[in-house]
Amino acid sequence: MATTCILSGWALECAPPNRIFEERNLSEIIVVTSGKGGVGKTTTSASLGCGLARRGKRVALIDFDIGLRNLDLIMGCERRVVYDFVNVINGDCTLKQALIKDKRVEGLHVLAASQTRDKDALTEEGVQRVLDELNSEGFDYVLCDSPAGIEKGAHLAMYFADRAVVVVNPEVSSVRDSDRILGLLASKTRRAENGNGGVKEHLLLTRYNPRRVASGEMMSVNDVKEILGLDVIGVVPESTDVLAASNSGVPVILNDASDAADAYEDAVGRLLGEQLPLRFLEERKRGFLARMFGG
């Protein structure tokens, strides 16, 4: 039976004193973004999402690249897409109908983008409604896979974010374009508008090749870090495993024999607050037999 509480002159119906309520943190929204296309955003979104889910978190991956839709391919669930992000926003289906549950990792779900609509199909109100519902459904993390550039889809992917993973290749044009994205994160997000300290930004480098860095063909981690002024959350080495994983519809982080998988696992740990040294910054020394026979 409810009891009556008196607070500032108001009578409130309160729960019985023996009923215990658990407070749950809000879903943390992380946008995976970049200024330049083709740097590995979707690969990163898929791997970070898998990594967080394998650590017991409930994770939703949302593809904001309306009209193209690649996240479902990387996740290997393209044949299971019945309803998409735009269908949910337009009320054509419920969120539960559109979410695709991953068959390999418990707690991981995918919300695919539409292939038949354009970017204008997304609205700020519609996106907020979906994010609010994901929060009410108990998701710990929502990862927003942003399209490249600064158009509407990219803006909405970052607008509600609490944190941003800025994906950069260690070459000049990618770094320059990412600097533009940092300016938008600092000024065009809800946190920036509300004065809530802005979006926490992390830098993740992909396709890193220490040999090319040593020869001056590629920027070093310190070069990129100094230009963009961000802490590095991960360095993913250049690897054929990434392309092979994408083609097979299996996020590369699930390949336990891959250096790229180890790099993404490290990045997941750092997202969760673990203090881990950066790896894969130096070229791996080959043994005697490898040098003799070209291995």
User: How confident is the prediction along the chain (295 residues), in pLDDT tens digits per residue?
Assistant: 444 444 434 444 444 444 333 445 789 999 999 988 899 999 999 999 999 999 999 999 999 999 888 999 999 999 999 999 999 999 999 999 999 999 999 999 999 999 888 777 899 999 999 999 999 999 999 999 999 887 888 999 999 999 999 999 999 999 999 999 999 999 999 999 998 778 999 999 999 999 999 999 999 999 999 999 999 999 999 999 999 999 999 999 999 999 999 999 999 999 999 999 999 999 876 554 554 555 5
pTM of the model: 0.87
At 159, list the tokens. 């607008």
**Most distant CA pair in the chain, distance:** 86
- For the chain, give the number of residues: 295
pLDDT at 293: 58
67/197 Cα distance (integer angstroms): 33
Residue 103: phi, psi to the nearest 5?
-85, -10
Pairing of strands 28-33, 59-63: unpaired
Place of tokens 């969760």: 272
44/30 Cα distance (integer angstroms): 12
